[in-house]
Structure 1
């Protein structure tokens, strides 16, 4: 991709085997200097170790995305360490059984699950944009990518908190695209379909994966690298005229 060499990226939600970890590695391969951040700093460090062993430049940081001070400190650290911030990828999510496993429908979802999901997936992403956008405007440009979900378009009968939080990112992202666009800062959404992350592979059966494959207009299910490639494009000069868009990366499972 053009225009990524020596630029600086923050991945909020980077761990081995997931979309954030794959994106951190892909961006480092493209020549970006990467700050891999995760609630589990040890997981982020594992990604960084792999990047640096391959000749890339990356550092790990802990991030509690629900804490504005934590996100502010991450942005400040990045700018102090590398002199700028050119790409932010918000991909963190709480997919633990305690949260996603209790995220039922609108008639029964526990309020604590609802609030925590909003805190992580919507308010947390807002914190990142709030502290990144001024940096990008001052330096004359940048790219912000938020992670939505194809579940928003499908209208599932469960996971109402997850869908509501992800839906809210449409307004947040378009607002950011409008606010930053004239200053050279773009904001877009990527919406994954079924992606075979490490967690997905360990918690699903071959039968379930076959059933999901039958819903996709492609010969395979998605991989974290598929999202990483889209993020690299949106961060790059090749994506310079893409702003305020919601991009489905789901193998053709859904049309919008």
Structure 2
């Protein structure tokens, strides 16, 4: 892809799944990658796979619920390369304690909503806010935020998660509208059912079959599918794409 070699890009959530696949793809395209995650061992494993193939990457521990650690993650890329060219926000609280208790409103726990928004939405907003001055200093750059099909489809459960991802879509449009004229592009990718390592370990065959039946493709998603889209949006080939959230879901959701 045009313009990725030598670029300094932060992956905010790169220990596994889509984040790890995107870090690997960006490094393959020649980018210099900082892989952040609350799971430092996982981030290091991602970095090891990159450097073993000759790529340029480093791991940093961070937490989307902690502004100081987000600032440290962004700063680590600037200190390492002298600039920041892009950010991929992909982390989320998908733990059983949070997502597993995100039930319909008649059983709502406000603490679950607060935690979900703190990580999935406010964390992304903080990452964008802290990255923007460095992107401006570099003459412009790109941010890609990870949304979800849950923001569109209207599930009977996970309302806090869905609302947080709808908020991410609004955040993406805001950043593009406010800073687009100054050279910053902000777009989103919205995965459908993606067979990550975690999903493969926990998803039943029946659930997979239902997911496949609900899309318009011959298979379910892979982390590499999202990585390809995110890498494109972070590249110079996407220089005229701004404020968009793309559904990368095998045709599972059709919307304007």
TM-score, L = length of structure 1: 0.98
Q: Which residue of 1 aligns with 2:51?
A: 52
Aligned counterpart, 2:113: 114
Alignment correspondent of 1:141: 140
The equivalent of 1:78 in structure 2 is 77
Mapped pair 1:153 → 2:152: yes
Separation in structure 1 between the aligned mates of residue 210 and residue 199 of structure 2, nearest angstrom: 14
Q: Which residue of 2 aligns with 1:182?
A: 181
User: Unpaired runs of 5+ in structure 1?
Assistant: none
Q: Distance in 1 between matches of 2:142 and 2:73?
A: 17
- Superposed CA offset, 1:20-53 (max 9, x none): 0000000000000000000011110000000000
Q: Per-residue deviation at 1:198?
A: 0.5
Whole-angstrom CA distance in 2 between matches of 1:115 and 1:170: 18
Task: Indicate whether 1:215 and 2:214 are aligned.
Answer: yes
Supply the distance in 2 between the matched residues of 1:26 and 1:150 (Cα, whole angstroms).
23
How many residues of Structure 1 are paired with residues of Structure 2 in the alignment? 255
Alpha-carbon distance in structure 2 between the residues aligned to 1:200 and 1:191: 17
Runs of 4+ in structure 1 deviating by more than 4 angstroms, as ranges, are: none
Deviations 1:186-241 (A, max 9, x none): 00111000000111000012222112111110000000000000011001111110
Equivalent pair of 1:150/1:191 in contact (CA under 8 Å): yes
Q: Supply the distance in 1 between the matched residues of 2:97 and 2:243 (Cα, whole angstroms).
A: 33
State the shift of 1:109 in Å.
2.0
* Counterpart for residue 228 of structure 1: 227
For the aligned residues, what is the CA RMSD? 0.8
- Counterpart-to-counterpart distance in 1, 2:38 and 2:147: 19
- Per-residue CA deviations over 1:118-159 (Å, capped at 9, x if unaligned) read 000000001100110111112111000001101111010110
Contact preservation (8 Å) 1:216, 1:252? yes
Normalised to the residue count of structure 2, the TM-score between the two structures is: 0.98
Whether 1:8 aligns to 2:4 is no
Unaligned regions of 5+ residues in structure 2, if any?
none
Give, in whole Å, the separation in 1 of the partners of 2:14 and 2:192. Answer: 19
Residue 57 of structure 1, CA deviation: 0.3
Q: Is the 8 A contact 1:109 1:160 kept in 2?
A: no
- Aligned to 2:218, the other structure's residue is in SS state coil
Structure 2: distance between partners of 1:134 and 1:111: 34
CA shift at 1:107, angstroms? 2.1
- Structure 2: distance between partners of 1:184 and 1:106: 41
Cα pair 1:150 1:193 within 8 Å, conserved: yes
Counterpart residue number, 1:62 = 61
**Partner Cα separation in structure 1 for residue 135 and residue 23 of structure 2:** 19
